[in-house]
């Protein structure tokens, strides 16, 4: 019986080699150094820190997360250890082992510029992911839904940072919004990557037995993740892959199987982030996802990711 080599999962991101395209989503398994260390020790191809604010935040009151049959709802409220904590971690990270992304989500433009300047001056090989899409901080709208504000925001950051960086976007639901957002993103040459998507904001889950919401913050309104968001995530990945050919796309949303990873890659993603499923299963999930992805690729006759990445067929 002939022997066939296992499909190769190695890829590159902004010319940097990775063992595979998998990583955590900012916010999951990455708040503390011990959690980040677990990601580094795992088989994930890369890791990203918790979205950080200028100073430490406790986030919203508990309960603020609930696992659901098809995913999760959360209103975490950006709990994090403050930007200095994550910059210190990034300064000690072994970049030969795997890439590290630093996620930044300041509560104002000035806060973001302060954090971005600190990361620039640290001269680290970490990738900056600018979070324009947290739906769970009361009184703070998502910059990604205000196109004029987003354009101003990106103009300031692109000028201040002067290095390649990326943005994490909220989900969009209309072709006009895809077009408007892409037009803005394409204006900035050093905006190198786009992460699609953050959670679908302000869902409401009701427990029939108790006749109550299931999380406390914002009267029970929170961001949806998991299977609930997969079709929306794939739509956003493909929409920006088509509209921003000079940008690299990171897919995020609804990933719990190797088939989901395959779908994100087929839609145009180069890397794929895992959120809700990682929260529920832990870093060992990356072993399972790679196994399932290899099995699917072998079944389809693909030997490497570039054989199919971004080649979604339409009817």
pLDDT tens string 138-194: 877 899 999 999 999 999 999 999 999 999 999 999 999 999 999 999 999 999 999
> Average pLDDT for residues 134-138, to the nearest whole number?
82
Answer yes or no: is pLDDT of 2 > 50. no
**The pLDDT of residue 135:** 81
**The pLDDT of residue 4:** 60
**The pLDDT of residue 141:** 85
pLDDT (tens digit per residue) in 20-62: 999 999 999 999 999 999 999 999 999 999 999 999 999 999 9
CATH number of 11-59+77-201+226-307: 3.20.20.70
For the annotated catalytic residues, the residue numbers are 134
**The pLDDT of residue 212:** 98
**The pLDDT of residue 42:** 98
**The pLDDT of residue 1:** 42
**The pLDDT of residue 221:** 97
> Average pLDDT for residues 71-96, to the nearest whole number?
98
**The pLDDT of residue 137:** 82
**The pLDDT of residue 139:** 78
One-letter-per-residue 3-state SS of the chain: CCCCCCCECCEEECCEEECCCEEECCCCCCCCHHHHHHHHHCCCCCEECCCECCCCECCCCCCCEEEECCEEEECCCCCECCHHHHHHHHHHCCCCCCCEEEEECCCCHHHHHHHHHHHHHHCCCCEEEEECCCCCCCCCCCHHHCHHHHHHHHHHHHHHHCCCEEEEECCCCCHHHHHHHHHHHCCCCCEEEEEECCCEEEEECEECCCCEECCCHHHHEEEEEEHHHHHHHHHHHHHHHHHCCCCEEEEECCCCCHHHHHHHHHHCCCEEEECHHHHHHCCCHHHHHHHHHHHHHHHHCCCEHHHCCCCCCCC
> Average pLDDT for residues 108-128, to the nearest whole number?
97
Answer yes or no: is pLDDT of 279 > 70. yes
> Average pLDDT for residues 64-91, to the nearest whole number?
98
Answer yes or no: is pLDDT of 282 > 80. yes
Domain borders along the chain are: 11-59+77-201+226-307
């Amino acid at each position: 019986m002939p022997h066939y080599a296992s499909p190769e999962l190695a890829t590159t991101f902004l010319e940097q080699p990775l063992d595979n395209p998998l990583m955590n989503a900012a916010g999951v398994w990455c708040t503390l150094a011990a959690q980040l260390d677990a990601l580094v020790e795992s088989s994930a191809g890369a890791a990203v820190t918790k979205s950080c604010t200028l100073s430490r935040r406790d986030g919203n009151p508990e309960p603020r997360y609930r696992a659901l049959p098809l995913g999760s709802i959360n209103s975490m409220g950006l709990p994090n250890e403050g930007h200095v904590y994550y910059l210190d971690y990034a300064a000690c990270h072994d970049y030969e082992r795997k890439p590290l992304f630093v996620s930044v989500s300041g509560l104002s433009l000035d806060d973001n510029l302060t954090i971005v300047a600190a990361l620039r001056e640290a001269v680290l090989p970490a990738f900056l992911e600018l979070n324009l899409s947290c739906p769970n901080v009361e009184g703070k709208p998502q910059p990604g839904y205000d196109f004029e504000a987003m354009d101003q925001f990106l103009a300031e950051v692109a000028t201040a940072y002067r290095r390649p960086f990326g943005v994490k976007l909220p989900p969009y639901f209309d072709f006009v919004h895809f077009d408007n957002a892409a037009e803005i993103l394409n204006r900035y040459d050093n905006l190198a990557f786009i992460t699609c998507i953050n959670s679908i904001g302000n869902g409401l889950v009701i427990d029939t037995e108790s006749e109550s919401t299931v999380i406390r913050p914002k009267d029970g309104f929170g961001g949806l993740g998991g299977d609930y968001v997969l079709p929306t995530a794939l739509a956003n990945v493909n929409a920006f892959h088509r509209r921003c050919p000079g940008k690299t796309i990171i897919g995020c949303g609804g990933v719990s199987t190797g088939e989901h990873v395959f779908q994100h890659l087929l839609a145009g993603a180069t890397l794929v982030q895992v959120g809700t499923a990682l929260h529920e299963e832990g870093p060992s999930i990356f072993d399972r996802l790679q196994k399932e992805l290899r099995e699917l690729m072998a079944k389809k006759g693909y030997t490497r990711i570039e054989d199919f990445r971004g080649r979604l067929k339409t009817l």
